[in-house]
Amino acid sequence: MNALITSLTILFISSLGFIIIWGFRLLPPKNNLLAAAYSYGLGVGLISMQLFIYARLHIPWHKELLIFPWLVLIVVLLIKNRKAIHLRLPKKPKLGIFEYLLLVGIFLTISYVVFEALIRPVSVWDSWAMWLFKAKIFFMDGGVFTSAFHYEKSGYPLVINFLGTFIYLMLGRVDDSAVLLTSSAFYLSLALLFFCSLNKKFSLRYALLFTFLLITTQNFIRQGGRIEAGQADLPLGYYAFASLMLLFNYLKNSDKKSLLLMNIFVGILSLIKYEGIPLGIAIQLFALIHIYKHKLYTHLWYLLFWVTPLIDWQVYRTIYQPQNSYFESHRLILSFNKIVNAIFGTIKEFINLKSWNMLWIIYFYSLFWVKVKYSKELVIANTIIFFQLSIYMTMYFFTVGNGPESSIERLLIHIAPIVLFSLAVRLSKSPLSFNNILLKKEQ
Amino acid sequence: MKLLLFFLFALWIIIGFFNVAYNSKKAISEVKEWFFLSDYEKRHKIFGDLYDFSLFLNQHTERDAKILLFSKDGMMYGVGRYYTYPRDITPAKDKNDFIRLIKSKQFKYVLFYDEKMTIDGYEQIAFFKSKTAVNFGSLYKQK
């Protein structure tokens, strides 16, 4: 029963995001599947913001008070856009045997991930010690009190905690097994977004193949529902990828609404974990360069949707959790051994086939050996990948308590979807022989 | 170079399908392993005695209890904290830290896990003995 209520809550969160994207025309109206892929991510950001605002204004977290405002908004948007409602089934594309095989593989893997999420309670350390623990504290306390920050001192932003709390509020109790479905929902949304982003540019077969490669990567499976579900790394990977796709949208069309949605997503990305902040800054830099080049200065206002929640959280944290700063618990150090360990530890992870299949090996191989024509998307994606990797390496090099042994597997999830996307674009542009087999609808 | 890339890519797809088959097979063994267990059995399987000890603590203390924990097992604090909230557990880092904290007299309860110690001003109210291993624990209450 709890799994059903949790599924319905996830559906509600996604519907909320979808109606807002559709109602405010934040994306081109034709691609409902793409809008659906962004919906859950947007909905999670909205309900988290709602819980945070309610807590600060001392509005009780009653189910009715939480759901009613969104229902009003949904009804208003539906009435306002009633003429744009077209209920029709999408056309069934022609599928060959290979596409059917990929679809079966995708379906089986997703089913496995959801099944795994439900079969056991939360078991991974970071989740019960941090993410779901704070969700439990907020639920049991009925709000956000400073005592929570003194008891659980990680100092991370609260989006993932609030998502857990929201599920518990809808359930009326703590269920740390059913709540893991939220991780599966991120897994599913990432797969859908990845597929739609590729299918916009390439053939169905090519998009399906790379989506299949994404979702059969064991590290995603583990974080999506297996023993490592309930952490913030998969959501971070999802938001990073979504933000980048929206950036590409904006760079292509200079469309204000794409920029608005991108800034909302980058805002949420920066409030998942610390690691989202440099990723967000890197993505915003490309948007800023575009704004500057095309003299679209009025677009700068949209950056407030990113900056405001980020500054608000930093101020809040400074006031209510002043004892926690990242560099207090990870002081700076210079050690040759640490540098060697960081480099070898990271390389070792790149060739960890059990976790990543061939992803990193083929990515680096193709980067150096497959020559392609200039592509702005590739340059941006690769810059972001290397920028983020260099941040992680710098932390490993120069801070105490950080090493690849305990975290690189998780950290690479943040950029892995972008890596796979970059690889898909690179291989599509290369003069490889199998390229012609897979690509039917070249850009 | 092209051939190698083609080979690696093909290998990747094969590994992908192998993963699908492996996971499907694993799902069956996971059903056997987990599906028929009760909620308690699942948690005990994951956390072992630490979970039982947390339940023991919930049983013998009030919801708002302030508890000082002395244990060399770092997991005990993490698991205990998660399963006993809203009880407030403070871990002692070592023996000196424990002596310093106990002198502050701010803890109604003192909890030992896999440790033995005598303390003034407290009386033992409950004793935990593992059903499956050699772990033990004692709960003391301020007199």
The mean pLDDT values, 10 residues at a time, for chain A of 443 residues are 94 96 87 92 97 95 95 94 76 85 95 93 90 95 88 88 96 94 96 95 91 95 90 96 96 93 96 94 96 93 94 89 65 81 92 93 89 87 96 88 85 96 88 56 45
Would you state the pLDDT for residue A442?
44
Would you state the pLDDT for residue A220?
95
Nearest residue of chain A to residue B48 (CA atoms): A123
- Cβ–Cβ gap B42/A120 under 8 Å: yes
Which of B1, B8, B13 comes nearest A361 by C-beta? B8
- Cβ–Cβ gap A216/B20 under 8 Å: yes
Would you state the pLDDT for residue A325?
63
Which of A105, A353, A365 comes nearest B20 by C-beta? A105
Residues of A with CB under 8 A from a CB of B: 101, 104-105, 108-109, 112, 115-116, 119-121, 123, 125, 128-129, 133, 136-137, 140-141, 151, 209, 212-213, 216, 218, 221, 353, 357-359, 361-362, 365-366, 369-370, 427, 432-434
- Cβ–Cβ gap A151/B79 under 8 Å: no
- Cβ–Cβ gap B34/A120 under 8 Å: yes
Token representation of residue A211: 């989506």
Here the ipTM equals: 0.91
What is the phi/psi pair of residue A370, to 5°? -105, 110
Which of B6, B15, B30 comes nearest A119 by C-beta? B30
CB A46 within 8 A of CB A267: no
Which of A119, A213, A432 comes nearest B5 by C-beta? A432
The answer for residues whose C-beta is within 8 angstroms of residue A216's C-beta and 6 or more apart is A105, A109, A357, B15, B16, B17, B19, B20
Would you state the pLDDT for residue A432?
60
Nearest residue of chain A to residue B51 (CA atoms): A123
A128 CB neighbours in chain B (<8 A) are 78-79, 82
Would you state the pLDDT for residue A433?
45
The rounded distance, in Å, linking the Cα atoms of A147 and B66 is 13
The rounded distance, in Å, linking the Cα atoms of A341 and A272 is 28
Nearest residue of chain A to residue B36 (CA atoms): A119
B23 CB neighbours in chain A (<8 A) are 108-109, 112, 221
Nearest CA to CA, how far is B143 from chain A (Å)?
26
Nearest CA to CA, how far is B46 from chain A (Å)?
7
The percent of residues in chain B predicted with pLDDT above 90, rounded, is 48
Nearest CA to CA, how far is A15 from chain B (Å)?
30
Would you state the pLDDT for residue A439?
55
Give the DSSP letter of residue B115. -
Q: What is chain B's mean pLDDT, rounded?
A: 88
Strand order in the sheet with B66-71: B88-91, B66-71, B109-113, B136-142, B122-129
Would you state the pLDDT for residue B2?
75
Half-sphere exposure of A436 (CA within 13 A, CB side): 3
User: Using 50, 70 and 90 to split pLDDT, how confident is the model at B21?
Assistant: very high
Nearest residue of chain A to residue B19 (CA atoms): A216
- Exposure string over A141-155, b if 16+ CB within 10 A, otherwise e: bebbeeebbebbebe
Higher pLDDT, B141 or A86: B141
Q: What's the pTM value of the predicted model, to 2 decimals?
A: 0.94
Token representation of residue A183: 């991780």
List the single best residue of B12, B33, B45 to mutate versus A (max A Cβ within 10 A): B12
- Cβ–Cβ gap B23/A432 under 8 Å: no
List the single best residue of B2, B15, B19 to mutate versus A (max A Cβ within 10 A): B19
The rounded distance, in Å, linking the Cα atoms of A258 and A296 is 14
The rounded distance, in Å, linking the Cα atoms of A94 and A103 is 13
**Interhelix angle A233-253/A404-429, nearest 10 degrees:** 30
Tell me what the mean pLDDT of segment B71-84 comes to: 89
- Cβ–Cβ gap B16/A213 under 8 Å: yes
Peptide bond into B86 cis (omega under 30): yes
Would you state the pLDDT for residue A436?
57
How far CA A100 is from CA of A103, A215, B95, in Å, comes to 5, 16, 64
CB atoms within 10 A of CB A157: 25
DSSP code per residue over B74-114: HHHHHHHHHHHTTSEEEE-SSHHHHHHHHHTT--SEEEEES
Q: How far, in whole angstroms, is CA A214 from its chain's centroid?
A: 14
CB A411 within 8 A of CB A275: yes
